[in-house]
Structure 1
């Protein structure tokens, strides 16, 4: 059992699924059931939530709307969205509403557990001065980056872009997410600025004989390969 008093709040109205999740996480975390999400939002705002696991469809509540309300109030508690809707547009909607990850039902409990651990770890590290993903390392204070001990010179926007990926290793990152966060565009933009910067970043990150770090997910976005 994790020694912290903060808990993972599972917003899920299927009792069997909640019990399976509780069994999976109970040895490492305190797990609280919140069928309609209301208790979870209060816990997040009061700093008692380590992570919210949010189903998109709850009894008398819309999971997307709950996450949007949370983010509108400036709360950054990590959120793992769950849904039976698997289309790219549905997943993007969940991420744009403020979800940090999106898992499609039905899922393997081992994958669910790994994603929970990754989110908890990522947000624990989000204030850290140093980040590391595989052979890639970043000093956020000195504004320096290395791959296999080779220092890589980046311009400020490239550094911001890589930092965004390194805080989300192995996760889907859409162009719109990057435009809204790295470029601060708050509306859909018809531009190839993301692709241009990612191409330039790749050229700097990938030395002779080194594998690709930022991979394309056709029709969806990009992912930082956390095994490279």
Structure 2
């Protein structure tokens, strides 16, 4: 999943980026509202984490403009204080949830994951798709009672595809949502990892959960066996 983190406190920005990256997110960061506006317009993020008190264009205005332009990715706001006025202003601007500073990073991550799940149409952190069970909190995948030994990338690719069951996901889209900006997007790494993921998900080739649509991308479909 790809997240935009907008925070003008350098130490906090680094901390948030480090923790989100550790959880397997691809992270873009900026420290002011003007750049945040640009990045949000240019990239289809899975989530934005936005501090209200930004220099120049404040976070409330950034969110309002995104929403006015039809940008729909979920937004989690960070407020400097627990004032109800800040929370109300952020939610009325179009934010989806909030966390008041100081906060525990575990709460930020939990709320971020919940927003991403809800935006994909899943209320529970545990997804059941046929014989596949995904625990998005524990980052664990189980097929027919068999726990899969997946790398962080393999799990994140599986989760991204599973949350878009039945949809065609292009190789470019998958790359953009799983890797940082400096990743070599002309490589065939995605194809290699998808092949490995297929083998781990379906070693006897009976489920065929990930299909390749030549020139279009991948589609995840998994029904009860």
Residue 53 (1) aligns with residue 43 (2): no
Counterpart position of 1:74: 70
TM-score, length basis structure 1? 0.50
Task: Give the length in aligned residue pairs.
Answer: 124
Instruction: Compute the displacement of 1:132 (Å).
Output: 5.0
Whole-Å Cα distance in 1 between the matches of residues 123 and 98 of structure 2?
23
TM-score, length basis structure 2? 0.51
Decide whether aligned partners of structure 1 residues 18 and 132 sit closer, same or farther in structure 2, where only a CA change above 3 A counts: closer
Residue 90 (1) aligns with residue 86 (2): yes
| Structure 1, gaps ≥5 residues long | 126-130, 135-228
The answer to whether the Cα contact below 8 Å between 2:44 and 2:73 also exists between their aligned partners in 1 is: no
Counterpart position of 1:171: none
Aligned structure 1 segments of 4 or more residues deviating by more than 6 angstroms: none
Decide whether aligned partners of structure 1 residues 56 and 132 sit closer, same or farther in structure 2, where only a CA change above 3 A counts: closer
Counterpart position of 1:19: 14
Summarize the alignment of residues 109-188 of structure 1 with structure 2, pairs less than 5 Å apart. Answer: 109-125=105-121
SS across alignment from 1:8: strand
The answer to whether the Cα contact below 8 Å between 1:40 and 1:52 also exists between their aligned partners in 2 is: no
| Structure 2, gaps ≥5 residues long | 126-225
Residue 43 (1) aligns with residue 4 (2): no
Decide whether aligned partners of structure 1 residues 40 and 50 sit closer, same or farther in structure 2, where only a CA change above 3 A counts: farther
Instruction: Compute the displacement of 1:43 (Å).
Output: 3.0
Residue of 81, 102, 106 corresponding to 1:106: 102
**Higher RCO, 1 vs 2 (CA within 8 Å, ≥6 residues apart):** 2
SS across alignment from 1:103: strand
The answer to whether the Cα contact below 8 Å between 2:34 and 2:56 also exists between their aligned partners in 1 is: no
Whole-Å Cα distance in 2 between the matches of residues 46 and 23 of structure 1?
23
CA RMSD, 1 decimal: 1.8
Q: Which deviations, in whole Å up to 9, do the C-alpha atoms of 1:120-173 show, x marking residues without a partner?
A: 111122xxxxx5559xxxxxxxxxxxxxxxxxxxxxxxxxxxxxxxxxxxxxxx
Instruction: Compute the displacement of 1:59 (Å).
Output: 1.9
SS across alignment from 1:61: coil
Whole-Å Cα distance in 2 between the matches of residues 58 and 132 of structure 1?
31
